[in-house]
Amino acid sequence: MNIKDLLSEKRILLGLNAGTKEEVWKAMAERMHEEGIVEDVQAYLDDVASREKQGTTGVGFGVAIPHAKSDAVRQAGLAMARTTKGIDVGSLDGTLADVFFLIAAPKDADKIYLQTLSKLARLLMHEEFRESLRKAQDSGEVIDTIEKMEEKIS
């Protein structure tokens, strides 16, 4: 399983002007809805918010990985957003998040859900990867950055 296989260029939002984590989640969920990944945006967002209440998905270094398994999701998918300013997500290290990856998985898709979360966390541990995501000029460059880092850590 590769991260790039769960992500499409249409689900990469660069320069997103949002003031709250919920606004970021909604923008990404709507893109997933447009591509048929998420069936019911509000039901999925409710599940993401419910998951967030269990503990922050702000992993630090300016990154958040909100996620949820949900009956409102048709198939596993991923969206990415880079915001114009940092947003308080309650990160473990106190940093504001400007890079977000939203994971959507059907309720019964434990394996792909956990694999995606684990692999993203491993990729995001690398400072060069995070910085490349922040410098990417377009969604194609984001996909290339992900592919190169996946090859590097494989």
Based on the number of CB atoms within 10 Å of its own CB, is 145 exposed (0-12), middle (13-18) or buried (19 or more)? buried
Residue 16, SS3?
strand
The catalytically annotated residue of 21, 67, 69, 82 is 67
User: Catalytic: 126?
Assistant: no
Residues 6+ apart with CB under 8 A from 129: 123, 145, 149
CB 97 within 8 A of CB 86: yes
Backbone angles phi, psi at 66, to 5 degrees: -65, 145
Give me the helices (H) in 7-138, please. 21-34, 41-53, 110-124, 127-135
Q: Which helix (H) or strand (E) holds 145?
A: helix 139-153
Could you give the residue numbers annotated as active site? 67
